[in-house]
Structure 1
Amino acid sequence: MRLRRRLLSPAGTGRQGAEGAGETTGTAAAQQPYDGAADQRVITDHLELVTPFEDLIAHLYDAMFAHRPYLRRLFPESMEFQRKHLEAIFWYLIENLHDPDAVAATFTRLGRDHRKLGVRPAHYRAFEAALCEALRRTAGPRWSEGMERAWVRMLRFAVAAMVEGAEAALGEPAAWQATVTDHDLRRADLAVLRVRPHEPYPYRAGQFASVASPALPQAWRQYSVACAPRPDGELEFHVKLTGRGGVSEALVARTRVGDVLRLGPPGGTMTLDNEDAAHDLLLVAADTGWAAVKALLQELAAHRVAQRGVHLFLGVRHPSALYDTEAPAELRRRYPWLRVTQVIGEGPGPGEYGALADVVAGHGDWSRHLAFVSGPPDMAGPLVARLTAEGVPAPRVRHDPLPDRA
């Protein structure tokens, strides 16, 4: 609690950096509700001084590793993904700072997840000092202490939520070890993995897990768990090769049965709740987004009470991308409440043709349905936007993370 009070304390002049400002006290001030909207106005009014964020982030990591070289070991060898991730975090904070409750909830979850990286409170203070230095260097002579204080308050608010999330998760592992029990190469660029965690992994159907390979121990990527919780505790992941030298290549091309992976805490809100039984369901899976939807269908099949309708759309860009085709076919044969429509973006093949969003929208009015959308952002994003534009209330459209600033 004392650490959280220090993190939320007034930011001082800003020029002294995090090391000095972080030590100030200010319990009474810290207990006041955070006025995120005020800091949002200050930051956005001068955002052109530090955007695009590429230079700011480059200066930040240069400063942090120059002053504290030991922190470099916490990061993967390639920083490309990390830089993009930090840029997305900056945009999320700036665009949502007027809603501190939503920001706090997001960063509480992020703090729980960051335990797997070995992040400690001292690292946050080092990050703050490096950010202040990077802001001054990027913005140049027009930068002011008032602007810096707004950035520091924003950062400290987010960090306080992360610390709270990490403290609340002390009763669970920071990461789970899991042995690969099966590695099925369905295509040259796609593998279906089964893993058995060494300790119970507490997730729900529709959620995802961060996965790290021993080949790249500090690099993590999120993959949906492709099965509902099973009695034997095994998990299934569908991994598509998205580039060379990253986690996806390590999992598709360099992972073997018997290898031990690491899993971060489960995340995601694409889950079924008790009250959802009142709605017919629209499930849309694009490409390997089928993994999360497959888990949801398994849960529906195991626990379904009300015989509501479920319409599943399976979308791929080309017939060559089809995989795991027996699973939806078997579900359709066994359960009369399930309708399945295959959608092919281009080229001849089974099912309907066209953009996934257009085909789904053309099948009728979904405004009374509960929708689940899973898949690559460039396919899921347009569909989410289309559904909400055509009358499906946003809270009833549950989806995977969408592109930065979506």
Structure 2
Amino acid sequence: MDSRTVALIRTTFKAVAAEESGPERLARSFYSILFTEYPQIRDFFPAAMDSQRDRLVRAISYTLDRLEEPNKLLPFLAQLGRDHRKYGVRDEHYQAVAHSLRTAMSRFAGNEMWTDEVDHAWEQGLTLICDTMIGAAAKETTPPVWSGTVLEHRMVLHNLAVVRLRLDQAIKYAAGQYISVQIPARPRMWRYLSPSVPANANGEIEFHIRGVLGGWVSPAMINQTVVGDQWLLGSPLGGLGVPRNSKRKMLMIACGTGIAPLRAQLLQMAQRRTNPKVHLFVGGHHPCELYDLRTLSELAAAHKWLTVTPVAEREENPWWHADSGEPAPQLPGLEPRMTGQIGKVVASFGPWSDRDVQIAGSPSMVQTTKFRLMAAGTQTKNIRHDPLF
């Protein structure tokens, strides 16, 4: 698409999104049109649509921001197309979604803004998105979904569990990618999780899951999962990872369960003969939330290319965490624990101009850390993270 087409699409979307409650109203209008004109599509969606509406607007925004970067956008759309096979969607479903979104946008923009040229621009943009996803799905030969049996469910904190599964067929994912997961207690409610171990021939996979207060799925994953449960998994997504031939130093920053995709990469790198130097900062609100330090300690002690610095925002653990009250022993291979907000701590070391940067954690943590690094002089092109939706 040419720059004018991209500009027309972005301008109209931003105008709608800038209105008070604009994103929410747009999402509601879109789903109302979709389910009214194509009622058979309703069965593809969960009963509760609140989080679905939020993700829709964030996904649209993420895609539109990359319309002029086909080298980044098209692989992302291809991954989504392969992942969407799990729903059983067909070509006509993509057309229905595109039509409903165009209709919703035109209603909000109004006749003055929604000219024939704008309508044609949106048609071009949505056609590119649909064709890319449909084409990638048609070419894929792997299963649309994998089934996995829960082998272990281990509580690490009161709201954090480690779940290990064995898949019926091994998934070939790159360390650092994420996967959509559905549990039996929440049908049609898929959530993205990052494997904390590299792909292996045994088909074993592990997830670190933190319960979101008021969430629909994560509390059920933590509190209702039992050994023997059957989970469903979709195709892998995401572009984090350290290429085998990379010689550029790495800076990795994780908070909470964001350690999972970085941990998987480090475990994979540990199997190689040579690696670039990696400095990992792993953080949490309290010291007890640095729950995987023993594994990281063992990795750092065994591999000179890895430096691990723990960071906690507070010196003490919270009241709900039962411990002896004695200071935790210093684990071998780790740098002394630092206190402070992780983005601020990392940025205090300077611009890290010689490093490629990966950030993993909650959307707010990723954004805050990214802004801190950019303010310190880190180039945006050197910073990578997964889409924040």
Task: Check whether TM > 0.5.
Answer: yes
| Deviating more after overlay: 200-209 vs 91-100 | 91-100
1:82 Cα deviation from its structure 2 partner: 1.6
Letter in 2 for 1:359: V
CA contact (8 A) 1:268 1:400 kept: yes
Using a 3 Å threshold, how does the CA distance of structure 1 residues 286 and 136 change in structure 2: closer, same or farther?
Answer: same
Letter in 1 for 2:291: Y
From 27, 43, 46, the equivalent of 2:9 is 43
Q: Which residue of the partner structure matches residue 322 of structure 1?
A: 290
- Pair 1:289-2:258 in alignment: yes
Count of matched residue positions in the alignment of Structure 1 and Structure 2: 366
CA contact (8 A) 2:80 2:237 kept: no
> What's the secondary structure of 1:274's corresponding residue?
coil
From 349, 360, 364, the equivalent of 1:374 is 360
- Pair 1:95-2:95 in alignment: no
From 275, 289, 294, the equivalent of 2:245 is 275
CA contact (8 A) 1:174 1:265 kept: yes
1:360 Cα deviation from its structure 2 partner: 1.4
Q: How does 1:354-365 map to 2 (within 5 A)?
A: 354-364=340-350
- Pair 1:152-2:138 in alignment: no
1:44 Cα deviation from its structure 2 partner: 4.0
Using a 3 Å threshold, how does the CA distance of structure 1 residues 43 and 270 change in structure 2: closer, same or farther?
Answer: closer
Q: Which residue of the partner structure matches residue 56 of structure 1?
A: 26
> What's the secondary structure of 2:209's corresponding residue?
strand
Q: Which residue of the partner structure matches residue 166 of structure 2?
A: 196
Q: In structure 2, how many angstroms separate the alpha carbons of the residues matched to 1:335 and 1:345? A: 27
Fraction of identical pairs, as percent: 34
CA contact (8 A) 2:350 2:377 kept: no
CA contact (8 A) 2:147 2:167 kept: yes
Q: In structure 1, how many angstroms separate the alpha carbons of the residues matched to 2:117 and 2:251? A: 48
Tell me the alpha carbon deviations over residues 198-254 of structure 1, each in whole angstroms, 9 at most, x when there is no partner: 011101221111111122221111111101233422111000011335221221111
1:88 Cα deviation from its structure 2 partner: 1.5
Tell me the alpha carbon deviations over residues 40-91 of structure 1, each in whole angstroms, 9 at most, x when there is no partner: 2323444466332222221111121112222111011111222112101221
**Over aligned residues, Cα RMSD in angstroms?**
2.3
Tell me the alpha carbon deviations over residues 160-203 of structure 1, each in whole angstroms, 9 at most, x when there is no partner: 1111111121x111111111110101122111000111011101
> What's the secondary structure of 1:139's corresponding residue?
helix
Gaps of 5+ in 1: 1-33
Q: In structure 2, how many angstroms separate the alpha carbons of the residues matched to 1:329 and 1:68? A: 54
From 273, 279, 298, the equivalent of 1:311 is 279
Q: Which residue of the partner structure matches residue 345 of structure 1?
A: 313
Letter in 1 for 2:5: D
| Deviating more after overlay: 332-341 vs 191-200 | 332-341
> What's the secondary structure of 2:271's corresponding residue?
helix
| Deviating more after overlay: 143-152 vs 233-242 | 143-152
Q: In structure 2, how many angstroms separate the alpha carbons of the residues matched to 1:208 and 1:46? A: 32
1:297 Cα deviation from its structure 2 partner: 1.6
- Pair 1:82-2:31 in alignment: no
TM, length-normalised to structure 2: 0.86
- Pair 1:239-2:209 in alignment: yes
- Pair 1:180-2:150 in alignment: yes
TM, length-normalised to structure 1: 0.83
1:327 Cα deviation from its structure 2 partner: 1.2
Gaps of 5+ in 2: 318-327, 329-336
> What's the secondary structure of 1:265's corresponding residue?
strand
Using a 3 Å threshold, how does the CA distance of structure 1 residues 231 and 90 change in structure 2: closer, same or farther?
Answer: closer
